[in-house]
Structures are given as structure tokens and as C-alpha cells.
Amino acid sequence: MSKVIVSSLYNSDVFRMACRQFDKAADAINLPETIRDRTKYPRRCLAVALPIKREDGSITVFEGYRVQHNLSTGPSKGGIRFHQSVTIGEVAALAMWMSWKCSLVGLPYGGAKGGVICDPNQLSQSELEHLARRYMQEMVNFVGPHVDVPAPDVGTNEKIMGWMMDTYSNHVGHLSPAVVTGKPIAIGGSQGRREATGAGVAYLTRKYLEDMKIPLSKTTVAIQGFGNVGSEAALALASYGAKIIAISDYTGAYYNPKGIPLKKALSYVQYQRVLRDFDGGEPITNEELLELKCTVLVPAALERVITEKNAAQLKCRLLAEAANGPTTNAADRILEERGDIEVIPDVLCNAGGVIVSYFEWLQNLSNFYWDRSEVLEKLFAILDKAKDSVEAQKRKFKFSRRLAALTLGIQRVAEAKQSRGLFP
Ligand code: NAD
């Protein structure tokens, strides 16, 4: 019997949610008690204070974290989030999901995640650069191309990854592009990385719609979150022939039954930063967006937006989880009981980002660069394989699709830990 000795460090709604998902999956595959806690809990974390000189001469100390969940199957991998609601528990949950995701799609990585409690919209470009560089400086001994490889997440982007790579490289004394992924192409970023997560979401959505025999020409889509993932998913789904009828960001949501003018929305966001007062659709609330009648609902913002309060009201046929952890455990039970909504679980649905991050890392390590078509072809091949394995697991054990995906991911991590044995 293993004994659970867990501190309250990560205690939070979202960490408990990730733990409950793990427990359910571990029970479903009878994961031996001796391996459960080793597989479940994060391996290690670092919390740092980040003092930044502001434009007005004052100093603000921000708090940042990095949680490495699993280092048994390769370096750990996962994004860095800049958001005011970041907590160490949230970062730990996101790191845990990264482990199952990498394992599910067969990448030689463990999971990790980072975060800084800040509102990037309230920082000037130079304050943002100082924060990004200071965060990486504090992480120099904790990350590295063969230790832990960060990437962008909510509130971070290519530019920030570039500053972090530069900071790390200056510390080690030579160019080290493989320390982070999601960089600008000019300094070792991969073709196709910026659009990878959204493109993967759209590709899998198309595949599942085919299985459901719903033509793309009759598909309507509502998307919550119009950042990197939401906007790229919108563009890719529209290019397949679907109609995007609603989009949103944290300032509000917009509905247009004739189709949101996407190019207009993208240039609006590029100049205004947010969708506030966008006139390409009727203003609605984010809550109303989630309950719109549509073929596909794509949550592409934050965790825990589909809850026991709205799960019974969803009117989509397919829920494509572009965000990490958008559906609470209680909502999941309601969706399972309803049985009329197909779910593409987050660990499968948004895996395109980490898959192309893996390609970027490989290109950096080998100094040999691929073109966009090669990147996308390889991405879709991995997603096809992962989808097939999830469907086979679902059929074989009569699991929900989420349980099928999680059990596959968890099983492989547990097997790797078992094979390596316990040190010393
Ligand atoms: P982003 O910062 O580029 O965009 C986030 C978007 O969500 C913004 O439009 C923001 O305004 C919106 N948002 C925030 N709070 C909201 C709210 N309460 N209601 C409506 N909209 C809200 O971040 P991103 O990189 O697009 O990430 C979005 C999601 O996708 C996150 O869950 C992230 O973990 C996940 N994800 C990202 C990647 C990646 O490669 N960037 C990969 C896998 C998963």
C-alpha cells in the first residue's frame, strides 16, 4: 500500500478537479496502489518573486511558479501563463494534464506548466519584457532543453518566448533555442507553431463531424476566447466551410447568425487588443454564448466554464475542448447522462500545440528546419493516430471519450515509472 502524504500546497478547485479525473481513470484501469501517488502528484515546483521596475519608477514584485509534474518520460513540457487569476494549484493541474496529453499522443515528454500572477494588459511592452526576462532568469537552473521546455499559454506569445530564450542563452553563454518553443521563426520557431493548437482543434472537429455524418456546410460554431487558440480554430474551421456564428473574449461576446466577419474581427483585435464594442455581431454575454444553439461549441479561454449550472442548457452537438480543463467533474457527469453531446476532451483536442512544439524542439536540436506543409502533415498524422487509439479504448472498455483519453495517457506514464523503478 502506498501512503498519501500530500501538503495543501496545490489545494484548489482546479487541482482537486484534475485529481478526481485521475482517481476515476486510475480506478477504471485498476492502476496498482503502489504506483498511483507517484503517477498522480507533481514531482517538484519552484515559486519565485519577480521585482520589476515600472514605467513610473515604482517597483512591483510579481509572483511566479513552475510546476514539473513528471520527469520520467523525458524533459517536461508545458506553457507559461500570465494571468491575474494564476495560482500554484491551477499551474499544478495544468502540469498534470500536460503529462497525460504528451503521453496520449506519444511524445517523449513529461508535463509541466508555469504561471505569473499579473494582468499583461496592464503592463507596458518594456514592463512585460522585464517580467518575462526576470521569470526566465529565476528559472535558469530549473529548465533547459533536456530538463523542462516552456512554451506560450494564456497571456504569453512568441515575443515573450523570444525574450525568454535570449535570457537563457545569455546565461549559458551560447544560443540555446531548444529551451523554449513557440518562438518567432527568425530565432528558431517552427513553421506552423502559431496556428498549431487551433489547427489541431479544427482538424479533429472536422474528423468527428465526419464520424457524426454532419456536413461542414451545415455546421455552425460558437467559440469562447479569441486569443491564439480561439482565433486560429475559427479561421481553420471557416476555411473548411463551417460558419462561425459567435466569438468572445473577456470583454464580451458577439453573435451573428450570418457568420462573424473573421478578418474584420482579427484586425479589430490586432489594433484594439480586445473585442470590446466590435460591431460584427450582436453583443451577448459569455454565458449566453455557451448556451447558443450551434453544431460545435469551442471553449478556448480558461478552465471550469462548463459547470453544473449550464451543462444541462448546452445546445451543441459537439463540444471541442480547445481550452484546458473547461468542463468541471459535475458538468462532465451531466453531459454523460445526457448522452446527446459528443465531447473531444482537452488532452486530445488541443494537443496540436505541444505536438508542433515537439517538432520545433527537434528542429532546434538538429538545426534542420522543415517547411509548413511537412509540419502540418506530421501533425495531422499524430492526431489521427491518437484519435484512433482513443476511439479503440472507448469501444473496448465502454468508457466515455474523456475516460478513454485519460486512461491511455495515465497508463503510459505509470508504465514508464514502473519500468524505471524507484530510486534509490
Ligand atoms: P490567449 O491569451 O491567446 O487567449 C485567451 C483568450 O481567452 C483571450 O481572447 C481572452 O480575452 C479570453 N478570455 C479570458 N477570460 C475569458 C472569459 N472569462 N470569457 C471569455 N473569454 C475569456 O490564450 P491561448 O493561448 O489562446 O489559450 C487559450 C486556452 O487554450 C487555454 O486554456 C490554454 O491553456 C489552452 N491551450 C493553449 C495552447 C497554446 O498553444 N497557446 C495549447 C494548448 C492549450
Together in a domain, 122 and 269: no
Q: Contact, 110 vs 59, CB < 8 A?
A: no
What radius of gyration do the chain's Cα atoms show? Answer: 21
Which cell numbers hold the place of 147? Answer: 530538463
Residues 158 and 274 in one domain: no
CA torsion angle for 69, 90, 141, 194 (degrees, to 10)?
90
Q: Which residues pair with 224 in a beta bridge?
A: 248, 299
Total domains in the fold of the chain? 2
**416 found inside a domain:** no
What's the one-letter identity of residue 212? M
Same domain flag for 166 and 211: no
Alpha-carbon gap, residue 229 to 200, rounded angstroms: 10
Atom 37, ligand 1: residue with shortest CA distance: 153
- Is residue 258 flagged as an active site residue? no
Report helix angle 401-420 to 372-397, nearest 10: 100
| Average pLDDT, integer, range 4-14 | 80
Q: Looking at ligand 1, which residue's alpha carbon is closest to its atom 10? A: 249
Distance between CA 28 and CA 155 in Å, rounded?
A: 36
**Rounded Cα–Cα distance for residues 336 and 190 (Å):** 38
Identify the band that residue 7 occupies on the pLDDT scale cut at 50, 70 and 90.
low
Residues spanned by the domain of 140: 13-176
Q: Is 78 in the pocket of ligand 1 (CB under 6 A)?
A: no
Average pLDDT, the chain: 97
Stated length of the chain: 424
CATH code, domain with 330 = 3.40.50.720
Would you place residue 6 in the very low, low, confident or very high pLDDT band (cuts 50, 70, 90)?
low
User: Are 240 and 284 contained in the same domain?
Assistant: yes
For the CA of 251, the nearest atom of ligand 1: 11
| Domain termination site, one of 344, 369, 389 | 344
Angstrom distance (rounded) from CA 390 to CA 7: 33
pLDDT of residue 254: 98
Regarding the beta carbon of 332 and ligand 1, being less than 6 Å apart is answered no
CB 159 within 8 A of CB 184: yes
C-alpha distance from residue 192 to each of 100, 160, 162, 232, 370 (Å): 23, 18, 16, 11, 10
Query: Taking 60 as the threshold, does the pLDDT of residue 1 lie above it?
Result: no
pLDDT of 57 over the 60 cut: yes
So what's the pLDDT on residue 8?
Answer: 86
Task: Write down the H helix ranges in 339-371.
Answer: 346-349, 352-366
**Does ligand 1 lie within 6 Å of residue 300's CB atom?**
yes
